[in-house]
Homo-oligomer: A and B are copies of this chain.
Amino acid sequence: MPVTLEKTRKKAPTKAAAAPARSHLSQSTTRYEMFANSLVADIESGRYPVGALLPPEPELCAHYGLSRHTVREGVRKLVDMGLVSRQQGVGTKVISAQVGPNNFSAATSLEALFSYVGGTYLEIYEEGWVSADDQLARLLDCKVGQRWLKVSSYRYKQNDQQPLSHTVLYIPPAYEGIRQYLGEVNHPVYQLIEKHYGHKVQDLQMDVSALSIPTAMARKLQCRPNSPGLLVVRRYRGANDSGLSNSVSIYPQSRFQVSIRYRLNWAA
């Protein structure tokens, strides 16, 4: 049973574009927004429970009387809200039932976040196994005694003499096999794990703080000793909160900046 998303618009298909009757108060005026809100309501109400698949696009198009482009735009909004995720060949899955302050919404995909590694490479100077002591356990949020393959390196931009950062990777024994690929590629570590082991990253936590760059490292990074830098710890988690890998990077001043953007696209 088709649903209409009309508010005050003309139905005549000859007039292709929407003719939203917009009050001054911001309402959902566009079709894709009305459609998206409808989906959100259905998800919040439990009609599409977490883990379930949304109806496929053709069905949504027919049901709501929208073109596919508009449907896709609406679903894209839900993806931005962190309510659903999509996968080609499979479908659109509900991953959260509520939008709210507790839902950090992934506005961008991991791939977009790390598109920067393209054109960079790691220069590894040390590899070895370590056991997490108290301090490392706290840093990586793991158990004391946990073993890690520790890979110390500097990251360079291609055709650039100056290192971008000092980066230490901590890789679980289960994924030791990727070490052979670390030096050559410009893929993020999490992609290597996904490719070679099929375990996908579900969650990334990134902590940013300030530190003073030690003298020895400063020489290699070509910055002043004890100059300020950013310390960035990234923790990649897969399903079941299993740790896939971690990285600890140190960036000299002005060589790196975290830019976070929050968009209020859907709130009242």
| Contact status B102-A266, CB under 8 Å | no
Known interface pairs A101-B164, A265-B106; A260-B206 also in contact (CB < 8 Å): yes
Q: Which residues of B contact A265 (CB under 8 A)?
A: 79, 85-87, 106, 109, 202
Q: Determine how close the nearest CB of chain B comes to the CB of A241; give it in whole angstroms.
A: 12
| Contact status B109-A105, CB under 8 Å | yes
A112 at the A/B interface (Cβ < 8 Å)? yes
> Which one, A57-65, A92-100, A121-129, A171-179, is touching chain B?
A92-100
A140 at the A/B interface (Cβ < 8 Å)? no
Give A118-145 interface residues, CB cut-off 8 Å to B. Answer: 118-120
Count of this chain's copies in the oligomeric assembly: 2
Q: In the assembly, what is the distance between CA of A212 and CA of B265, in Å?
A: 36
Number of interface residues of A (CB under 8 A): 76
| Contact status B109-A264, CB under 8 Å | yes
| Contact status B115-A259, CB under 8 Å | no
Give A185-240 interface residues, CB cut-off 8 Å to B. Answer: 187, 199-212, 226-230, 238-239
Residue of A119, A227, A258 with highest tally of chain B CB at under 10 A: A258
Known interface pairs A209-B230, A228-B211; A203-B266 also in contact (CB < 8 Å): no
A180 at the A/B interface (Cβ < 8 Å)? no
* Complex partner residue of A268 from B109, B202, B262, CB under 8 angstroms: B202
Known interface pairs A101-B112, A212-B227, A267-B85; A257-B207 also in contact (CB < 8 Å): yes
Give A244-268 interface residues, CB cut-off 8 Å to B. Answer: 251-268
Q: In the assembly, what is the distance between CA of A257 and CA of B98, in Å?
A: 10
Residue of B nearest to A90 (CB): B266
Q: In the assembly, what is the distance between CA of A230 and CA of B77, in Å?
A: 26
Q: Determine how close the nearest CB of chain B comes to the CB of A233; give it in whole angstroms.
A: 9
Q: Which residues of B contact A211 (CB under 8 A)?
A: 228, 253
Q: Which residues of B contact A268 (CB under 8 A)?
A: 199-200, 202, 238-239
| Contact status B202-A267, CB under 8 Å | yes
| Contact status B116-A108, CB under 8 Å | no
| Contact status A85-B266, CB under 8 Å | yes
Q: In the assembly, what is the distance between CA of A121 and CA of B209, in Å?
A: 22
| Contact status B95-A116, CB under 8 Å | no
- Please name 10 further chain A to chain B contacts, defined as beta carbons within 8 Å, in addition to the given A206-B259, A227-B228, sorted by A numbering: A80-B108, A100-B115, A104-B109, A105-B113, A106-B107, A107-B262, A109-B264, A202-B267, A209-B256, A211-B228
